[in-house]
Amino acid sequence: MHETSLIDYALNAVEARASQMGIQEVAEVGLVVGKAKAIPGLLERAFQIIRVKHPRCKEAVLHLDMREIRMQCSSCGMEYEVEDLMGDDRCPGCGSCDCRMVGGNELLVEYFIPRE
Ligand SMILES: [Zn+2]
């Protein structure tokens, strides 16, 4: 499952950082994830499964900040949001198909909070 490796990757980064900072236990993890990258429900489920592999994060709570998929039209420069990448992503301004994704592919650890 794609989401599993994303969560594993993010938690590895949190573990490494927490270790450097001398943090024994992480209470909360905040991730910024683009909607083109993963499905929120699957991320939640993957987190429940994967966190036990990471000693500092095994009881952590996940907070997801999902970012919209944003496209920019190369013809008229208009920026707009699309629900997913399967549907019609033509420019609503001029109807051009010459568009590129400028947002929605993020995956970053926004923050993590140590347990007191
Ligand atoms: Zn356009």
At 108 the three-state DSSP class reads strand
List pLDDT tens digits, range 62-103: 999 999 999 999 999 999 999 888 877 799 999 999 999 999
Instruction: Report the topology of domain 2-114.
Output: hypothetical protein PF0899 fold (3.30.2320)
With bands split at pLDDT 50, 70 and 90, how would you rate the model's confidence at 1?
Answer: low
Vertex 86 angle, CA 85 and 92, to 5°? 65
> Using CA atoms, how far apart are residues 15 and 66, in angstroms rounded to an integer?
22
Q: How far away, in angstroms, is 66 Cα from ligand 1 center?
A: 25
DSSP state of 78: -
CA of 103 to the centre of ligand 1 (A): 17
> What does the pLDDT look like over 32-53, one tens digit per residue?
999 999 999 999 999 999 999 9
- The SS3 assignment for 73 reads strand
The pLDDT assigned to 89 comes to 79
Say how many Å lie between the CA of residue 47 and the centre of ligand 1.
Answer: 39
Higher-pLDDT residue of 1, 61: 61
Domain boundaries, the chain: 2-114
Contact assessment for residue 15 and residue 50, using Cβ atoms and an 8 Å cutoff: no
Q: What is the pLDDT of residue 98?
A: 93
Distance 88 CA to ligand 1 centre (A): 13
107 CA from centroid of ligand 1 (Å): 27
